[in-house]
Amino acid sequence: MKKISTILVIAAIAAINFGCKTEKKVTRYENMYNEKPAVIYIAPIIDKIQRKKVVYADDLVFNREVNTAHAYMYQTLQNPVIRKGYYVIGPMATKEIARADTSTSEDLRFSHNLLEYNTKYGIDAILFVTINRWVEENGEWIVYLNYTLKSTKTAKTLMNYNVKAHKVVILDSKRDPQMSVADWDFADEFGTDNGTTQRARILECVSEYVLKNMPAGSKHKKFEQDIYNIANPECFDYMIDEEDIINFATMELEEYEKECFDL
């Protein structure tokens, strides 16, 4: 898998000031510390994006970029969870589990059927990632995301984040995104076009940031030693500017929902 981008190093530094206004992990992740999940299953992504009806060439481009970026995102969700000391159900077993369960990820998220995942497969928690909306406005590409971790023992929510993630994207005369050094490195490694690169990098960077904030799992040397560390706000704004610098801000849930769902 891809090396951690230098952009994440910048993000870690920027997070110091961002975190000062938030809760400690012992409060934010109370249910998680109580239950101590060890085995996590990452459900198929809940994709709520409306694909464009293909009338113009740009419609086809958008659909292709989104499909590829979403597939890439799912493939990279495992790594940050594993690095936090959790056992993550592998790709082949994940396919078999998804095939055996006829309910969608979204249905499962709100159902007590997820309790069966503990008795059948020994899974302690399920991570649900929802991509709610992509928007392009004012020179930015914006995506609205939700990350929810649910217990398969109690059906309690162990983690929940809503994130507005956006990247400043400058278009050239051909309306192709201009690439930063990090963009070029990503595109060179994965063979993605300019537009897909922008979307995939946004998704990967945000997932890395959200998931690395989880409490350390039982396989991690800092297990139960991070309870007084800073937790992310439950709803926040994550922006990559034109110089690849990360900017953070706490966001009100009402504002997030208004933008995300056009309320």
The reply to whether 1 falls in a domain is no
CATH code (residue 88): 3.40.50.10610
- What is the C-alpha separation between 17 and 173, in angstroms, rounded? 38
Average pLDDT for residues 218-224, to the nearest whole number?
92
At 104 the pLDDT is: 75
CA-to-CA separations, 156 to 107, 111, 148, in angstroms, rounded: 15, 11, 10
pLDDT, one tens digit per residue, over 20-76 is: 456 899 999 999 999 999 999 999 999 999 888 887 778 888 899 999 999 999 999
**Domains: count for the chain:** 1
Q: How far is it, in rounded angstroms, from Cα 174 to Cα 24?
A: 47
Domain-located, residue 18:
yes
pLDDT of residue 97: 82
The per-residue pLDDT of the chain, averaged, comes to 87
Count of residues in the chain = 263
Backbone angles phi, psi at 86, to 5 degrees: -110, 150
Establish if 135 belongs to a structural domain.
yes
According to DSSP H, which parts of the chain are helical? 6-19, 25-28, 30-35, 57-76, 78-83, 91-100, 105-109, 116-121, 181-190, 194-211, 253-261
Q: Measured between alpha carbons, how far is 93 from 95 in angstroms, rounded to an integer? A: 5
CA-based torsion, 202, 203, 209, 210: positive or negative: positive
Residue 240 lies in a domain: yes
Residue 164 lies in a domain: yes
pLDDT at position 15 is 47
Could you identify the residue written with the tokens 């709610």?
132
The string of pLDDT tens digits covering residues 85-125 is 999 998 788 878 877 876 778 778 877 788 999 999 999 99
Contact call for residues 206 and 163 (beta carbons, < 8 A): yes
Of the pLDDT bands very low, low, confident and very high (cuts 50, 70, 90), residue 1 is very low
Burial class (CB in 10 A: 0-12, 13-18, 19+), 221: exposed
Distance, CA of 176 to CA of 94 (rounded, Å): 36
What is the rounded CA–CA span in Å between residue 207 and residue 76? 9
**Which among 26, 27, 25, 37 is positioned nearest to 154, based on CA atoms?**
37
- Please tell me the number of Cα atoms within 13 Å of 44 on its side-chain side: 18
* Cα 33 from Cα 235, distance rounded (Å): 21
Task: Confirm whether 255 is domain-assigned.
Answer: yes
Which residues, other chains included, contact 58 with Cβ-Cβ below 8 Å and sequence gap of 6+?
A: none
**Does residue 181 sit within a domain?**
yes
Domain that holds residue 221: 6-261
pTM above 0.85, yes or no: yes
Q: Please, what's the b/e burial string for 228-254 (b: 16 or more CB within 10 A of its CB; e: otherwise)?
A: eebbbbbbbbbbbeeebebebeebeee
- Is residue 200 domain-resident? yes
Task: Please count the CA atoms within 13 angstroms of the CA of 258 that sit on its side-chain side.
Answer: 5
